[in-house]
Amino acid sequence: MNNKIRITKQFDFETGHALYGYDGKCKNVHGHSYKLSVTVIGIPINDTSNVKYGMVIDFGDLKKIVASEIVDKFDHATVFNKNTPHIELANELEKRGHNVILVDYQPTSEMMLVDFAKKIKNRLPNNIKLHSLKLQETGSSHAEWYANDQS
Ligand SMILES: Nc1nc2c(c(=O)[nH]1)N=C([C@H](O)[C@H](O)COP(=O)(O)OP(=O)(O)OP(=O)(O)O)CN2
Ligand SMILES: [Zn+2]
pLDDT value of position 1: 64
What's the gap in Å between 129 CA and the centre of ligand 2? Answer: 29
Going from the Cα of 8 to the center of ligand 2, the distance in angstroms, rounded, reads: 24
**Kind and range of the H or E run holding 32:** strand 30-42
Task: Find out if CATH 3.30.479.10 is the number for domain 5-149.
Answer: yes
- Ligand 1 atom with the smallest distance to the CA of 111 is 7
56 by Cβ neighbours in 10 Å (0-12 / 13-18 / 19+) ranks as: buried
Question: DSSP per residue over 54-98, as a string?
Answer: T-SS-HHHHHHHHIIIIIHHHTTEEEEETTSTHHHHHHHHHHTT-
- Tens digit of pLDDT at every position of the chain (151 positions): 689 999 999 999 999 999 999 999 999 999 999 999 999 999 999 999 999 999 999 999 999 999 999 999 999 999 999 999 999 999 999 999 999 999 999 999 999 999 999 999 999 999 999 999 999 999 999 999 999 999 8
Q: How many CB atoms lie within 10 A of CB 48?
A: 7
86 is catalytic: no
- Are the C-beta atoms of residues 144 and 150 closer than 8 Å to each other? no
Q: Whose CA is nearest to atom 14 of ligand 1?
A: 137
Which is nearest to 81 in space by CA: 130, 22, 32?
Answer: 22
Ligand 1, atom nearest to 140 Cα: 28
Q: DSSP 3-state assignment of 143?
A: strand
Quick one: CA torsion of 51, 59, 110, 32, rounded to 10 degrees? -150
Segments making up each domain of the chain, as ranges: 5-149
Predicted model pTM: 0.96
Distance CA 46, CA 2 (A): 9
- Residue nearest atom 9 in ligand 1 by C-alpha distance: 108
